[in-house]
Amino acid sequence: MIRKLVIITAFFIVCNVCAANRSSLLQDLNNYLATDQLEQAYTTLTALRSLSPDDSRLAYNSACLASKMSDLDIAIADLEDAVTLGFDDVHLLTSDSDLKPLHSNQQFINLIAKIKTELADKATEHAVTITSGSNSRKLPLSNFGSATIGANSTGLNTQLVIPANALQERSEPWFNGGGIVLVVAVPDSSDTFDSERIWRFGFGKHEGESAGWVISNPDQMVNTRVEELAPRLRLDPSAGNALLDIKIPWEYLEPYQPPSDTTFGINIHLITTDDDGQKLQLSLLSDPSGNRRLVSKMRYLPLSVSQGNQLQFSGTIINSIAGSKPLSLDIKLWSGEAASGTLFTDVLGPDGKSVVSNKIIPEVISVSTGLNSWHREADLSSMPQGMYQLTAGLATMDTVLVWSTPVMKYDSNWPFSVYDRCKKLREIDRASVMWRVNLVEQSLANRDYRSNPTITLITLAETENLLNQGINNGHILPEKGTFTAAFSTPDNKLVPVNCLIPKPDKQEQCLIWATGQNIPADALADLLSNRMQAREFPWDRTIVLIPQFRNSTDLEACILWAKEMFPEKPVQLYGRDDSAAIVKKVEEENPVAANNYRYTTQPFNSASDLIRDVAKWLVSL
């Protein structure tokens, strides 16, 4: 007993020493990185790896440091270690700027190919095939539960069996733990394991009840609670499980649905804790992006939906944006029996009324057993630029089936007309308009051709409104609310800066911050100084900046600039990453610069989080 007690005591002493060493090493690592002492940082990271030899992320970070120091052989060796330990985030590997020196290295290219092959093989091995309205497929959810996948004419159905206490009531539990992320994908490339074309649905508890949210679709973050998505929740106390019945209607996956589309992808993620407080991570297929807020691609298990005996009716358009050529429309119907009916197509305007000049005559058609297809065209060439709804319908003796999809008429000469009208604006205002024109053109060039074009049209309409406001009122700034302005840099780049303009009763305060542009503090200061000194914008009020602080010199320059520009105003600075070491150095070396400002290194997950925090600060002033 004494010997065992000594061993246990020694074990805890060793653990405490390791924890203390790890904390000290992490602090040293942050300090070295903040001051660009890369060799010392690499040595420190090597020591951390000795404490956690199975941590693939540490090996990956070592590779990044070695690459930045141009030690490419060491970087490759560290990456191979990371992959051996389970690191397989192929998109981080190919997008991380630290690893850019390796992109032409054949060993790196081979390593990426190896990871992709292994991921594709794993996804294919667990591919799911179901028959609509008939069979379903039960899959293991890690080692702690299961997911049964099915489908019918109205949508995808999933029954989850998870630990009874897995769902926890908290804000955005699918990101913060205690909630479920269900991913539905449509393949978009030769990669058979991940896609950019993803829909994310969240499930958790709200005011004691189960609830469902749309988190995002391929075009945007939505983060909206939807009543009809609330899953049915049942508890099985004897087994210690919770059963959730989840239904995703096909309408939420527009424009993709059977029978026009039969190939999808699915994945499920849940991060929670067990009764002992230990972290549990459940998923159909592991994905490093599983619970991240912002993602470019997500992994999936291939899901094939074959047709049963139920009627299913849908259409496919090659492009949801129309120009001078007619839109090509393929209409498909799956029927379990032969029948006859009438088929019609139409184009509806924003008011829901037909905009087709000629009278639409329904066609009498014959329906055969199995898959039926019809090809039609919709000519929008004479329509004004804007949003329309393309519809198709089929009426039989027993039912009426209707399918529709949003389409947009776009005038290819529109950008040139904007360029011409911009000559009537003040020079300072032109950048904000042209930045939006660029967004429209980028959206048209990079979009999924079948996707909903609403966001593109909204940006187009906003551009038109700003242009007209600038011409008629002499400026483009709104009286209040949020607004994205843009500035032209010396090298002719358009840089967006988000502004929050207070209500009229708060005119002594105005906030400015830069988001997601990785602009150094001194560059942002130079960019805004001339504008403010010239009073081209009435922004001699409170200012909030979120630049990317590379080092303490950047932060100090930003503080001094803000205090010089706004000597009577409070200053608020946000660090988007962990800049604690930088802040500490400024406070030690220049206490005058660090006086009377508020700084936080808390990373903000979204612009809405940032706005809420800023609003609280404003109220306290």
Rounded CA-CA distance 288/60 in Å is 14
pLDDT at 500: 59
496 or 528, higher pLDDT: 496
pLDDT at 604: 44
Flag whether pLDDT at 159 surpasses 90. Answer: yes
Scanning the structure block, which residue is given the tokens 């602009």? 519
pLDDT at 4: 31
pLDDT at 552: 56
For the ranges 264-278, 347-361, 455-469, the maximum mean pLDDT occurs at: 455-469
pLDDT digits (tens, 9 = 90+) for 98-134: 999 999 999 999 999 999 999 999 898 889 999 988 7
pLDDT at 364: 93
DSSP class of residue 326 equals P
- CA 209 to chain CA centroid, Å, is 27
Label the pairing between strands 263-273 and 301-306.
Answer: antiparallel
Least confident segment among 32-36, 79-83, 291-295, 606-610: 606-610
Domains of the chain: 2-123 (1.25.40.10), 128-306 (2.60.40.1190), 313-409 (2.60.40.10), 414-620 (no CATH)
pLDDT at 7: 33
Average the pLDDT over 337-362 and give the result. Answer: 86
Note whether 558 and 522 are within 8 A (CB).
Answer: yes
Rounded CA-CA distance 266/285 in Å is 9
Angle (deg, nearest 10), helices 552-565 and 521-533: 10
pLDDT digits (tens, 9 = 90+) for 402-428: 999 999 999 999 999 999 999 998 877
Average the pLDDT over 540-561 and give the result. Answer: 53
Residue among 347, 399, 340 at smallest CA distance from 368: 340
CB proximity list for 431: less than 8 A, separation 6 or greater = 485, 486, 487, 488, 494
pLDDT digits (tens, 9 = 90+) for 47-99: 888 888 899 999 999 999 999 999 999 999 999 999 999 999 998 899 888 99
pLDDT at 551: 54
532 or 27, higher pLDDT: 27
Note whether 439 and 459 are within 8 A (CB).
Answer: yes
DSSP string, 491-540: TS-EEEEEEEEPPGGGTT--EEE--SS--BHHHHHHHHHHHHHTTSS---
Please give the structure tokens belonging to residue 3.
């010997």
Q: Report the 10 Å Cβ neighbour count for 171.
A: 10
- Work out the pLDDT band at 570, boundaries 50, 70, 90: low
Threshold 0.85, pTM exceeds: no
Flag whether pLDDT at 522 surpasses 50. Answer: no
Average the pLDDT over 6-32 and give the result. Answer: 58
Q: Is the peptide bond before 255 cis (omega within 30 degrees of 0)?
A: yes
Average the pLDDT over 145-152 and give the result. Answer: 92
- Work out the pLDDT band at 231, boundaries 50, 70, 90: very high
pLDDT at 621: 44
Q: Report the 10 Å Cβ neighbour count for 130.
A: 21
Average the pLDDT over 275-302 and give the result. Answer: 84
DSSP string, 30-77: HHHHHTT-HHHHHHHHHHHHHH-TT-HHHHHHHHHHHHHTT-HHHHHH
pLDDT at 512: 47
Flag whether pLDDT at 313 surpasses 80. Answer: yes
Rounded CA-CA distance 543/571 in Å is 6
Flag whether pLDDT at 226 surpasses 90. Answer: yes
Average the pLDDT over 608-618 and give the result. Answer: 49
Average the pLDDT over 463-474 and give the result. Answer: 90
Rounded CA-CA distance 435/292 in Å is 28
CB proximity list for 138: less than 8 A, separation 6 or greater = 146, 147, 148, 149
Average the pLDDT over 194-213 and give the result. Answer: 91
CA-based end-to-end distance of the chain: 62
Note whether 436 and 462 are within 8 A (CB).
Answer: yes
pLDDT > 70 fraction of the chain, expressed in percent and rounded: 74
Note whether 328 and 318 are within 8 A (CB).
Answer: yes
* Mean residue pLDDT across the chain: 79
Flag whether pLDDT at 602 surpasses 50. Answer: no
Please give the structure tokens belonging to residue 568.
């009577």
Please give the structure tokens belonging to residue 583.
């802040």
50 φ, ψ (degrees, to nearest 5)? -70, -30
Give the SS3 label for residue 349.
coil
Average the pLDDT over 590-604 and give the result. Answer: 49
- CA 54 to chain CA centroid, Å, is 30
pLDDT digits (tens, 9 = 90+) for 237-254: 888 888 999 999 999 998
Flag whether pLDDT at 27 surpasses 70. Answer: yes
Rounded CA-CA distance 138/147 in Å is 6
Flag whether pLDDT at 481 surpasses 50. Answer: yes
**Contacts within 8 Å (CB) and 24+ apart, 270-279:** 270/141, 270/145, 270/162, 270/166, 270/179, 270/180, 270/181, 271/177, 271/178, 272/163, 272/165, 272/166, 272/167, 272/168, 272/177, 272/178, 273/165, 273/177, 274/163, 274/165, 275/165
**CA distances (Å), origin 502, targets 271, 570, 574:** 39, 16, 19
pLDDT digits (tens, 9 = 90+) for 378-411: 889 889 999 999 999 999 888 899 999 999 999 9
pLDDT at 590: 57
- Work out the pLDDT band at 489, boundaries 50, 70, 90: low
pLDDT at 314: 92
pLDDT at 81: 94
Rounded CA-CA distance 433/435 in Å is 5
Average the pLDDT over 287-301 and give the result. Answer: 88
CB proximity list for 187: less than 8 A, separation 6 or greater = 195, 197, 263, 265, 302
- Work out the pLDDT band at 517, boundaries 50, 70, 90: very low
pLDDT at 513: 47
Scanning the structure block, which residue is given the tokens 């600075």? 573
Average the pLDDT over 178-202 and give the result. Answer: 90
Instruction: Calculate ∠ Cα 547-500-584, nearest 5°.
Output: 30
Rounded CA-CA distance 238/241 in Å is 8
